[in-house]
Amino acid sequence: MAALARANQQELEQLVYPTGFYRNKAANIKKLAEILCRKHNGKIPPDFETLIGLPGIGRKTANVIMNQAFGQAPGIVVDTHVLRLSERLGYTNGRNAVRTEKELMKIFPADTWRDFSLYLIFHGRKYCTARRPNCTECFLKQLCPSAAGAT
C-alpha cells in the first residue's frame, strides 16, 4: 500500500490505461493508498460505511470487498448484469443501481445476498446477454417475463 501511495501518477495511469477513465482511476488509487496508509495502517477496513467514504469506492465495490475479503454481505453487488437481469426477471425497473440493490434486498433473504449477484452475473454473461439473450436455452425462461414469446 505504501508503494502505491508513493507511486508516480503517470506510471499508475499507464498501468490502468486499458480499463478506461485511467486518469481518474489512477488518481483515486493513489489517494486511496495514501488514506489507507495514514488512517488504516495500510489495511483495507472491514467496514462498509468506511469503504464507501474512500476515493473511488462506491456501493458496488464496497459490497465486492466485503463479500470477497471479509465474507460479509451488507448488500447486493449490482453491476450491469445484475441491473439488466433484475429488470428482465421483473424484480425491479433496472434503471438505478442503488435503488435496484435496495429493492432486491427486500425480496431476497440476507443469507442469499453474497451469492445472488454472482449467479446473475454468470447467467448474464452466458445466457441473458445484453444484445442477444438466449431465452431458448435459459433454465429461467419459465420464471422470466422477458422470455415470454421468445423463440
Active-site positions? 60, 79
DSSP element (H, E) containing 93: none
d(CA 145, CA 66): 32
82 closest CA partner among 62, 56, 57, 104 = 104
Give whole-number Cα distances, 64 to 6, 8, 58, 141, in Å: 26, 27, 10, 28
Contact 62, 48 (CB under 8 A): yes
Distances (CA, A) of 20 to 11, 17, 26, 64: 15, 6, 10, 20
